[in-house]
Structure 1
Amino acid sequence: MSKILITGGAGYIGSMLCTKLLQEGHSVTAVDLLKYDKGSLNHLYFNKKFKLICDDIRKVSLMKKLIRQHDIIIPLAALVGAPLCEKFKKDALSTNLGSIKTLCKLATKKNKIIYLTTNSGYGIGEKNKYCDENSPLKPISLYGRTKCDGEDLVKSKIKNFVCFRLATVFGHSYRMRSDLLVNNFVYTTVKKKKLTLFEPHFRRNFIHVRDVVNAIIFTMKNFNKMKNNVYNLGLSSANISKIMLAKKIKNQYKKLQIKIVKNRKDPDKRDYFVSNKKIEKKGFKAKISLEEGI
C-alpha cells in the first residue's frame, strides 16, 4: 500500500478522496488550513493510517519534509473558482501556482504526482466542436490561468505525473460546495423553487465527485499506462447546456419555475463541450449520472 500526501485534504474533493483511499488500505496524510469546514474529516481521526496536518502548503520547509516521506502526491489545495481568485489575487497566485512551483522543485524521481486542473482552461469553445486534450487553452479568468500554468509546470518539471482537466464537479461531499453549478441549481430549487438563467445556451461538462475519486484510484492502479499524459475527466453523457440542466432538475422537482432573462449577461463566460475519449480508451469511464447526483 502507498503513502499518499493530499494537500487540501479537507476540501470538497479531498475529504471524499481521503476517505476512499483509507478504505482501500493506504496511508494518508492530509494538509489543510481548515478555513472552511473543520468537521469534514472528523470521521477519519481514529483511523491509525490517517494523519491531518493543519498548516500552510506554501511553507517550503514543511513541504520538503512531507514530499520526502510520501510516494504519491495529490495537490488539491487551491483557491477554486473565478470569483474567489479575483477577490484574493495574491493568495490565488501563491497557492494555486506558487505551491506547484515548490512541488516541482522538491519532487524526486520516486514521487508520483496526480495533478487536478480544470477544463475551464478551454474558455469559449467552437459551436459544434468538442474540446479534446489537443485543443488550445484559452483561460478567461485568473483561476483558469493559474491552473493552466500549474499544469504546464507539472508537465515540464515532474518525471512521473498524470494531469486531469476536470469537468464541473457535482454531488454530495463531506465538505459541501453550493457554488458549483449543479449543486447551486439544486440548492436554489429546493430553497426558492425558482431558477433564473442568464445565457441559458452556455454549455458545460460535468462529473460527480465520487467519479473524480474513482478516476484517481484507477490512475494509481494503472499509473504506468497513464503516466506523463493529460486527460479530460468528465461524464460524457453530461455535455449539456444550462437550460438542459435546469430541465433535468425540473423532472425531479415538478414545482420548479425556470425563468430566462434575455437582457442580462452571465459573468461566467465559459461555454464548451468536452471530449473524454482519451481516458475512456485507457479503461476509465465516469458512471454516476446527473439524475443520480441531483
Structure 2
Amino acid sequence: MRYGSTKKILITGGAGFLGSHLCERLLAQGHEILCVDNFFTGSRRNIAHLLENSRFEMMRHDVTFPLYVEVDEIYNLACPASPIHYQFDPVQTTKTSVIGAINMLGLAKRVKAKILQASTSEVYGDPQIHPQPESYWGNVNPIGYRSCYDEGKRCAETLFFDYHRQHHLSIKVVRIFNTYGPRMHPNDGRVVSNIVLQALRGENITLYGDGSQTRSFCYVDDLIEGFIRLMETGPEVTGPINIGNPGEFTIKQLAELVINITNSKSKLVYRPLPPDDPRQRQPEISMANEALGWQPKIELRQGLERTIAYFEKYLNEHA
C-alpha cells in the first residue's frame, strides 16, 4: 500500500459499463485509479467526467499483451460481455479471458498485488440446478456459439486458483449475474437495454421463445458494492462468490414492467430462441451474505427507472 489508506488500483475494462462505475466508486473512496481499456466495447463517454480528477489515469491497452505498472490491487474486468460483442470475434474473446488473465495474474505476482477476477454466471451454462450455488459445476456446451465466453471465463477461474495454489497469490473471484443500469452499451443486445430502447422508441419489443425464460436482475450499484466488499476480505476468502439479485423475473414480466414505466405503446413480438440460451438464471447468494454481509438493496422498478432516465437522455443527445 502506498501511503495511509490510499491504494493504487488497476481496473482493466475500466471504461466499460461496470468498470466505469467501479472507477467512480473507488475514486470517491480516495484511491488512485489506473483505468485500462482497449475501447472495443468500452467508451470514453463513460469516464469523461473522471478525466479531470488528478487521481485518475486512463491508458489505452489490450490485456492480451503484458502490462508493466506498479499497483496495489487489480480488478480484472476486461472482456466483452454481451453475446453480440463476444461472438463478433470469438477467438479474440477467448484470448481476452485466458491470455488476459495470465497477464494480469503475472503482474499481480510480480508486484504482490491482490487481484479480483470478474467471472460470470455463464460458467453454469444452462443449469440443471436452480438456483445456482457456487458448488455447482455447470452444464456448459464447450463447442457452441457462446463457448468463447463461457469457457474463456471458466478457464480464467482455473488460472486464478492455480496461481493461488502454486504461487500463493491473493485472489478473489466473483461470478456476476445479470446486471443493468446507466452506461449500459446501447447496442450490446442485452435484454434490459434492448427492451428499454425499443419501448422508448415506440418499437415492437422483441422477446425470444415465449418469454418465459427467467433472469435475475442486479442493479449496478449493488454489484459494485459486492466487488469492493469481496476485495476488502482477508486471504481466507477467495470465492468464487455469486453476486446477483435473487429476485427472479420472466423476460415477459420485465418487458411489461418497462412498458408500464415508460407508458410506451410498444407491442410484444416473439422470435425463435437463440442456441444455448439458458432457460433460467438465479443466484444462490447465501455465501455473499455470510462472507461479505452483502445483499442487493435496489428493487427492479427503482433500478429500471434510473436506467430508463439514462437512455432517455442518451436518445435525446443522439437524436
Flag whether TM exceeds 0.5 (same fold): yes
C-alpha distance 88-191 of structure 1, shift in aligned 2 (>3 A): same
Residue of structure 1 in register with 2:314 after alignment: none
What is the rounded CA distance, in whole Å, between the counterparts of 2:97 and 2:246 in structure 1? Answer: 27
C-alpha distance 226-209 of structure 1, shift in aligned 2 (>3 A): farther
Cα contact 1:117–1:165 (8 A) shared by 2? yes
Cα contact 2:132–2:284 (8 A) shared by 1? yes
Deviation at 1:268, TM superposition (A): 5.5
Counterparts of 1:174-213 in structure 2, within 5 Å, are 179-199=189-209, 200-213=211-224
Deviation at 1:84, TM superposition (A): 2.5
What is the rounded CA distance, in whole Å, between the counterparts of 2:132 and 2:83 in structure 1? Answer: 20
Is 1:27 paired with 2:32? yes
Write the letter of the residue equivalent to 1:138: N
Cα contact 1:29–1:52 (8 A) shared by 2? yes
Aligned residues: 285
Higher relative strand content: 1
What is the rounded CA distance, in whole Å, between the counterparts of 2:236 and 2:213 in structure 1? Answer: 32
C-alpha distance 146-12 of structure 1, shift in aligned 2 (>3 A): same
What is the rounded CA distance, in whole Å, between the counterparts of 1:257 and 1:59 in structure 2? Answer: 45
C-alpha distance 244-268 of structure 1, shift in aligned 2 (>3 A): farther
What is the rounded CA distance, in whole Å, between the counterparts of 1:196 and 1:54 in structure 2? Answer: 36
Counterparts of 1:54-203 in structure 2, within 5 Å, are 54-60=60-66, 63=67, 65-66=68-69, 69-108=70-109, 110-126=112-128, 129-140=130-141, 141=146, 142-158=148-164, 159-173=169-183, 179-199=189-209, 200-203=211-214
Residue of structure 1 in register with 2:298 after alignment: 288
Cα contact 2:180–2:192 (8 A) shared by 1? yes
Residue of structure 2 in register with 1:220 after alignment: 231
What is the rounded CA distance, in whole Å, between the counterparts of 2:268 and 2:62 in structure 1? Answer: 43
Residue of structure 2 in register with 1:16 after alignment: 21
Q: CA RMSD of the aligned region, Å?
A: 2.2
SS at match of 1:192: coil
Cα contact 2:205–2:268 (8 A) shared by 1? yes
Structure 1 vs Structure 2: percent identity of aligned residues? Answer: 24
Single out whichever of 16-25 and 130-139 deviates more from structure 2: 130-139
Deviations 1:249-269 (A, max 9, x none): 2332344444353x7333461
SS at match of 2:197: helix
Alignment partner of 1:244 out of 253, 257, 267 = 253
What is the rounded CA distance, in whole Å, between the counterparts of 1:279 and 1:26 in structure 2? Answer: 24
Cα contact 1:10–1:175 (8 A) shared by 2? no
Deviation at 1:125, TM superposition (A): 2.2
TM-score (structure 2 length as normaliser): 0.82
SS at match of 2:78: coil
Cα contact 1:75–1:114 (8 A) shared by 2? yes
SS at match of 1:6: strand
Is 1:275 paired with 2:281? no
What is the rounded CA distance, in whole Å, between the counterparts of 1:225 and 1:249 in structure 2? Answer: 42
Residue of structure 1 in register with 2:315 after alignment: none
Cα contact 1:5–1:30 (8 A) shared by 2? yes
TM-score (structure 1 length as normaliser): 0.88
Any gaps of 5 or more consecutive residues in structure 1? none
C-alpha distance 204-292 of structure 1, shift in aligned 2 (>3 A): same
Deviations 1:87-141 (A, max 9, x none): 21221122121110222334228311111111022122237x3111011223342
What is the rounded CA distance, in whole Å, between the counterparts of 1:180 and 1:86 in structure 2? Answer: 13
Residue of structure 2 in register with 1:39 after alignment: 45
SS at match of 1:218: helix
Is 1:264 paired with 2:272? yes
Write the letter of the residue equivalent to 2:23: C
Deviations 1:212-248 (A, max 9, x none): 2111222233x117721211110122x2221221222
Single out whichever of 263-272 and 138-147 deviates more from structure 2: 263-272
What is the rounded CA distance, in whole Å, between the counterparts of 2:235 and 2:203 in structure 1? Answer: 47
